[in-house]
Chains A and B, each alone.
Chain A
Amino acid sequence: MADVGYFSLALALVVSVYSIFAFVLGVRGKNQVLISSARNGLLAGTGLISLSTIILLISFLTHNFQIEYVARYSSSDTSLAYLISGLWAGNDGSLLFWTWLISLIAAVVILQKRNVGNDLVPYASAIIMATQAFFLILVLFISNPFTELGFMPADGLGLNPLLENPGMIIHPPSLLIGYVGFTVPFAFAMAALLMRRLNDEWIVAVRRWTLVAWLFLGIGNLIGAWWAYVELGWGGFWAWDPVENAGFMPWLVATAFLHSIMMQRRRGMLKVWNMVLIILTFSLSIFGTFLTRSGILSSVHDFNDTNLGPFFLTFLIIILVGSIGLLLYRRDGLKGEAEMESLISRESTFLLNNLLLVGAAFAIFLGTIFPVISEAVRGVKITVGAPFFNQVNGPIFLGVILLTGVCSLIGWRRASVKNLLRAFLWPLAGAVIVLLILIISRIGQGYAILAFFICSFVLFTIFYEWFRGTRARHRIRRENYLKAFFGLLGANRPRYGGYIVHIAIIFISVGVVGSTFYGTETEVAIKPGETITINGYNLVYDKMDSYKTQSRDVVNATFTVYKNNKLVGELISEKYFDEDYQPVSEVAIRSTLLEDLYVILVGWEKDGTTAFKVLVNPMVNWLWIGGGVMILGGLIAMWPERQKLPVTGANSRGVVSDD
């Protein structure tokens, strides 16, 4: 089985390389037969890589421990869900999984009905095949997941207990789909440069792909944060770890890209900038992989002992030099069709937002690679901690959020001061009321109050824009308000889906600000019968128990919890030890919309004294709610719009959708 899996990958490499040349020569020679053959090669590659992936999956399901990778990441008592997640739990498997995703995406691109007849597709496919070939080389020659042991072990080592969490089943594939998804917009951008097709054809082709990748990457990051929160047991959800940053940077730049392509579509502006953004997004995706697998920075996410660093670095340099060189070569064809007419316009707010997003990504990049720079310059590895990232990015993100609200109320080209005042009056009034309530409530923390003020302003601008749109629709179409509201949403899905995503960002921001500024914590050592008091909570420590499962020794502590002297329930915080006696905390969390009570069992003495860390984290749930809203908004934004009139020929005047 392992041999078949490996051979199938080798054959996939052959057809991928063939497809690259066949696509390029086919386009250059205008030879449709050669292009068809290349297309078949691409689809054959998808089939062959799928076969290998299925073989590895079957090896997990049948406990084929003769395959070293299977033995390392599963054991005979690993449950079905974690056997499947074994596919991406380690370096070798995750690279195969990555390659498989590229091949699937390539197949979707080539089979998409809307891409039939699109001249950019062959070149774009050649670039996707080149990326696929690179990953196949890595899987075949450096990180082969089909390597066999010379013997059949009685059992496997099993999955790292920290990875046995539902979040870990979704988090890595979601992130990887995000990373891999950016290959498509990058490939189309390069195809547009190569073919000198520099109008917005490529933008139309990639908008939805970029949204899909952006959404998966965003959700992947959030699920990662959720996993860190519930599983790692340190009380937080984001530590500015290099690999967390690696997932965040391309997301930020892709956010800028998704907004700036609107400028190109609407006004023919920022053509070079859009190219730069998509090159950066794709490069940062590869950089993220380089970080995880090179071992140059220490991270909780490290895949240890890989020697993939130089390969990824070389690939990254080729991408950057090749794409930027091509961009410079074609720069004459990328001149903007319009100029910025006023500082008070949607264009200027979009541009400023873009600069802030890229600036934030750059600051995170610098902070992430600072240990490498400091080691190269001064010989000492200096790690930049969370305070740096928070201090630099906090104000930038506040600026981004503020502009999110401002840009939705400003028209394209220019806005008159009178119009602006009229548009901002009600949202600003609403935000001022929130501000007054916060000040009167004496919650303190001026910076957090400013953040809540900005968040509420943006939220009110969105609601106000919806209200005005609904009212206008009600007036013109004589629809009732509910019908007018949903009609508004359906009539311009990219725009209103985008607004829903903005609401999601507000929810997430409120969660981050609330938990960062108003969190409280205490560390105590108590005996059963004693009480911990924190933020209106009384936690009565009832008892400590221990029990054994097939593979774990579990110790748990039970609390009866009172909030403002009213019984709210029972909490059980656990710590267990696996077969290697590695301790893992299972924190107890009581979650409400306002705050989380978070109890970590730290340790215990023979006399019954037990150490706990207890935190009250306000507003954390809004992060996860924001994630759900983000999915909803993203789906609405990428949902195809109806074509109002059929496009029937050269003289058709059909009204078509945005993409």
Chain B
Amino acid sequence: MTNFFAVVLFAVVLIVLTFAWVFYPFFRHKARLSGAGENEKLRELRSERDTTYSMLKELEFDYQSGIITEEDYKELEARYKGKAISTLREIDDAGRDGG
């Protein structure tokens, strides 16, 4: 019987602690709408920028290691650098618009 009560007591404590922890955010803040989404464009642009940088890095490696010819390297480098510059411009514009 003592064992039964100990289990019930433990269960009650567990329930109270669990739900206190789960619902704690409702008491800590007033419900508010998040600003998520307003920087979505910016995030996409940054992701694009990182991909282009990574591609440039890989291209440099391939060229230094002799995997691609100088002609291909120059053509691709110019293309990726152009893309990077236009992405950076867009990031700057989006940053200004976003305040």
Contacts and interface: CB of A to CB of B under 8 A. Distances in A.
Contact of B95 (A18, A200, A649): A649
Contact of B91 (A32, A411, A413, A650): A650
Contact of B69 (A7, A40, A44, A419): A419
Given A3-B7, A649-B95, A37 B23 contact: yes
B23 to A, nearest CB: 6
A426 B51 CA distance: 33
Give the dominant DSSP class at A's interface. helix
B81 interface: no
A36 interface: yes
Contacts of B54: 265-266, 656-658
B42 to A, nearest CB: 6
Nearest to B88: A653
B50 A33 contact: no
Contacts of B36: 30, 32, 119
A384 interface: no
Contacts of B42: 650
Interface string B21-63: 1111110011111101100101110111111011101110110
A409 B61 CA distance: 12
Secondary structure of the B contact surface, majority rule = helix
Contacts of B50: 204, 656
Interface in A597-655: 647, 649-653, 655
A300 interface: no
Interface in B4-22: 7, 10-11, 14-15, 18, 21-22
B68 interface: yes
A413 B76 contact: yes
Interface in A113-137: 119
Nearest to A118: B43
Contacts of A32: 29, 32-34, 36
A476 B61 contact: no
Contacts of B92: 650-651
Contacts of B51: 200, 265-266
Given A31-B33, A40-B25, A48-B18, A409 B76 contact: no
A201 to B, nearest CB: 6
B14 A7 contact: yes
Interface stretch (A67-75, A465-473, A537-545): A465-473
A43 B76 CA distance: 47
A41 interface: yes
A589 interface: no
B55 to A, nearest CB: 6
Nearest to B24: A40
A445 to B, nearest CB: 34
Contacts of B34: 30-32, 35
A419 B66 CA distance: 8
A279 to B, nearest CB: 22
Contact of B21 (A44, A411, A657, A658): A44
A418 B71 CA distance: 13
A410 to B, nearest CB: 7
17 contacts: A3-B7, A4-B11, A32-B33, A33-B30, A37-B25, A265-B54, A266-B58, A412-B62, A419-B67, A423-B66, A468-B67, A495-B58, A650-B42, A650-B98, A651-B92, A652-B91, A655-B53
Given A33-B26, A37-B24, A650-B91, 14 more contacts: A7-B11, A11-B18, A18-B22, A29-B33, A31-B31, A36-B25, A40-B22, A41-B22, A265-B51, A472-B66, A476-B64, A492-B57, A495-B58, A651-B95
